Chain A
Amino acid sequence: EPEVTQTPSHQVTQMGQEVILRCVPISNHLYFYWYRQILGQKVEFLVSFYNNEISEKSEIFDDQFSVERPDGSNFTLKIRSTKLEDSAMYFCASTQSPERAYEQYFGPGTRLTVT
Chain B
Amino acid sequence: ILNVEQSPQSLHVQEGDSTNFTCSFPSSNFYALHWYRWETAKSPEALFVMTLNGDEKKKGRISATLNTKEGYSYLYIKGSQPEDSATYLCARWTDTGNQFYFGTGTSLTVIP
Contact = CB atoms under 8 A, between A and B. Distances in A.
Contacts of B99: 33, 45, 48, 56, 58
Interface stretch (A13-21, A67-75, A80-88, A104-112): A104-112
Contact of A55 (B36, B98, B103): B98
Nearest to A92: B43
Contacts, number: 49
Given A42-B102, A55-B98, A9 B41 contact: yes
Contact of A42 (B31, B36, B103): B103
Interface of A: 3-4, 9, 33, 35, 41-45, 48, 55-56, 58, 91, 98, 101-109
The DSSP consensus for interface residues of chain B is strand
Closest 3 CB pairs between A and B? A43-B102, A45-B99, A102-B93
B91 interface: yes
Given A56-B99, A101-B93, 13 more contacts: A33-B99, A35-B102, A42-B102, A42-B104, A43-B91, A43-B102, A48-B98, A91-B44, A102-B49, A102-B93, A106-B43, A107-B43, A108-B43
Contacts of A98: 98
